[in-house]
Amino acid sequence: MFVKYLECSRCGRRYSLEDKPVMCRNNDLGRLDIYYDYKAIAEEIDREVFKDREYNMWRYLEYLPLPDQQYRVSLGEGWTPLIKAKRLGERLGLKNLYLKDETRNPTGSFKDRGMSVSVSMAKYFGFDKTVTASSGNAAVSLAAYSARAGIECIAFVPHFTAKGKIAQLMIYGAKVFRLWWKTSRDPTVEMMLKLIDKGFYPSPSFGPFNPYQIEGSKTISYEIIEQLNWRVPSQVFVPVGAASLLTGVYRGFIDFNETGLINGYPKLVAIQPKGNYPFVRAWIEKKPAKPEAIEPWPHPPETIATGLEDTYPWDGDYGLKALYETNGYGVVVSDQEIIEAIKLLARYEGIFAEPSGAAGLAGLIKALEEKRIDRDEEIVVLVTGHGLKDPEIIGKITGETPLINPDLQEFREAAKKYYGLEIK
């Protein structure tokens, strides 16, 4: 176990794991950043040791905070494929385009990585009930891992949560409450806060309320490095809501860098939708990498990318640091551009993403237009969530399907009408 201490990102108060810390006791909504003994890890680890390890995210045990593996709660998350996108690359004029397919995680999004770590820590600390605030995916993951651990789960989600995610929540046995979202304040966070002093373990996907889940997202970066045969890619495209994923991805590269496994960083690129971009706005305005410097979005979010609906990016301070220190940048995309990206992923590479999951690709296309990429750079796009989670939006994109009798003439007519196909 290599955790040295946890330190509040706002007041600097330090904790050890024996304190069972989840939130800063000074109640200042700082994030308890976890610091590892890099020197000790480096002595234990080199590139070779991973060869014999299990193919899931727990192969990076030394970089995770769980002190005792008997409390591990796992569904086999991680080690998702890094797919070389040949057809899509050709279409976009890129020679080395890779897709990190996070839709392959147990509940269909990268949030499983974080919730596996978070629920393991809840088990280790001895909690028997947990609560979350989420637009959907984090709650879904928490519900699944809570079920696996035998822990009760209460989930607060907004009224616009996608149908597929509600179905998942219900079937995993979470107690789900949908909340009306009418102002700029996120009602799910408001409700979660009301339960924290009632013995619930808070486990949303952002740092100030739970520091452990970010540790899971770090493993995405470790995997990218290993899957690229220890090369550091040139740019990594990350969709951003609360900026916790971006924080985790950056911290993953820091970990490998500081323990001597790689040398250098990719540019990290943050993508947000036009109807809610408080984080990218802070980057455009060159705000300092401090939580109080970032202003919340002034209205409820308006985008089909409901996984990117955080009106305040809770981990935006660390996320800004990620952009500034890797020479990265932010990109804003429209819903139409996200829809285009969903189609391209599905029709050129066979990958089905929900809107938030395809936003990274929409950001890449924008960045190409803005001439921020050379044709032979090694580019990685994170595809973060599965398309079946949001079937309604897909119905709107693809239109109607013909319904016919098993009759060749009817088939011919429908083929022509719906698909422009001429059949002899």
Ligand X SMILES: *Cc1c(COP(=O)(O)O)cnc(C)c1O
Q: Which is nearer to ligand X, 239 or 330 (CB)?
A: 239
Note whether 137 binds ligand X by CB under 6 A. yes
Binding mask 376-405 for ligand X (x = CB under 6 A): --------xx--------------------
Q: Which one of 87-95, 237-245, 341-349, 404-412 is the stretch in contact with ligand X (CB under 6 A)?
A: 237-245
Note whether 92 binds ligand X by CB under 6 A. no
Note whether 242 binds ligand X by CB under 6 A. yes
Note whether 307 binds ligand X by CB under 6 A. yes
Q: Which one of 150-158, 180-188, 259-267, 349-357 is the stretch in contact with ligand X (CB under 6 A)?
A: 349-357
Cβ within 8 Å of residue 9, ≥6 positions away: 30, 31, 32, 33, 207, 291, 317, 318
Residue 84 neighbours by CB distance under 10 Å: 12
Q: Which one of 240-248, 252-260, 291-299, 372-380 is the stretch in contact with ligand X (CB under 6 A)?
A: 240-248
Binding mask 191-220 for ligand X (x = CB under 6 A): --------------x---------------
Note whether 118 binds ligand X by CB under 6 A. no
Q: Which one of 58-66, 229-237, 344-352, 354-362 is the stretch in contact with ligand X (CB under 6 A)?
A: 354-362
DSSP assignment string, 233-249: PSEEEEE-SSSHHHHHH
Contact 196, 202 (CB under 8 A): yes
Q: Report in angstroms how near the CB of residue 248 gets to ligand X at its nearest.
A: 8
Note whether 168 binds ligand X by CB under 6 A. no
Q: Which one of 47-55, 174-182, 218-226, 302-310 is the stretch in contact with ligand X (CB under 6 A)?
A: 302-310
Q: How far apart are CA 226 and CA 153, in angstroms?
A: 35
Note whether 120 binds ligand X by CB under 6 A. no
Q: How far apart are CA 180 and CA 160, in angstroms?
A: 8
Note whether 103 binds ligand X by CB under 6 A. no
**Of positions 239, 266, 291, 300, contacts ligand X by CB under 6 A:** 239
Residue that is written with structure tokens 């070779």 in the block: 48
Note whether 273 binds ligand X by CB under 6 A. no
**Of positions 22, 24, 162, 308, contacts ligand X by CB under 6 A:** 308
**Of positions 241, 252, 275, 328, contacts ligand X by CB under 6 A:** 241
Q: Which one of 8-16, 37-45, 305-313, 332-340 is the stretch in contact with ligand X (CB under 6 A)?
A: 305-313
Contact 255, 45 (CB under 8 A): no
**Of positions 219, 244, 259, 303, contacts ligand X by CB under 6 A:** 244
Backbone torsions φ then ψ of 237, nearest 5 degrees: -100, 125
Kindly provide the b/e burial profile for residues 226-236, where b requires at least 16 CB atoms within 10 angstroms of the residue's own CB.
Answer: bbbeeebbebb
Backbone torsions φ then ψ of 117, nearest 5 degrees: -65, -45
Cβ within 8 Å of residue 413, ≥6 positions away: none
Angle at 150 between CA 147 and CA 154, to 5 degrees: 60
Cβ within 8 Å of residue 228, ≥6 positions away: 82, 98, 378
End-to-end CA distance of the chain: 69
Q: Which is nearer to ligand X, 106 or 241 (CB)?
A: 241
Note whether 56 binds ligand X by CB under 6 A. no
Note whether 301 binds ligand X by CB under 6 A. no
Cβ within 8 Å of residue 365, ≥6 positions away: 92, 337, 340, 341
Q: Report in angstroms how near the CB of residue 1 gets to ligand X at its nearest.
A: 26
Residue ranges binding ligand X (CB under 6 A)? 109, 111, 137, 205, 239-246, 307-308, 310, 354, 356-357, 384-385
